[in-house]
Amino acid sequence: MKILGLDPATKFGWAVLDGEQIVGGGTWKLLWNKQPADEVLADLQWRLEQVKTRFGALDIYAFESARHMPINNAKWSIAVRSELIAAARLWGFKHDLEGLELDIEEIKRHATGHARAKKSMMVGAAERRWPKVTWTDDNHADAAWIADFGRATLRQQGRFHEGQNEGFLTGLIED
């Protein structure tokens, strides 16, 4: 199973989890303050297309919800994140991919055992979990944990089953 984890922000983290391994990822610096919003969103969709081209078929994408951001974040940040999420959702819809919206505190708890984990704790946990990966920054590590928690969530929901290869999703289409 291949899951694309997305950490939507102006420093946009992404990671591809294939089975248990992170096979690609990094951080994109989106020039939100230097380009019109529609150009930034088009750039994000182009980058997502490049990921799909490079890593092949994806089973699902998962992202950190803007709804669950801490109260001290600036309103513009919530607005920017919401627009980035909307662009990612449209891209996913175009490719018939389900998007899994995940709570930030649950992601942190999954990664570190602490719902209020600091950035350094998230990176340290990623370094221990995937020691062969070179982490570009905390956004990249967060995206990896988002993908991993997405996989765990699907398992918990009974929608992911181990197969001979990587597994498959069930229950995506309601009858």
| This model's pTM is above 0.85 | yes
Residue 150, pLDDT score: 96
d(CA 153, CA 111): 13
Residue 32, pLDDT score: 77
Does the pLDDT value for residue 102 go beyond 90?
A: yes
- Segment 138-153 mean pLDDT: 97
The two beta strands, 168-169 and 160-161, are antiparallel
Domain ranges in the chain are: 2-169
Does the pLDDT value for residue 71 go beyond 90?
A: no
Superfamily of domain 2-169: Ribonuclease H-like superfamily/Ribonuclease H (3.30.420.10)
Residue 170, pLDDT score: 38
Average pLDDT, the chain: 86
Residue 159, pLDDT score: 74
pLDDT band at 168 (very low <50, low <70, confident <90, very high): very low
Using alpha carbons, select from 112, 125, 72, 97 the residue that is nearest to residue 6: 97
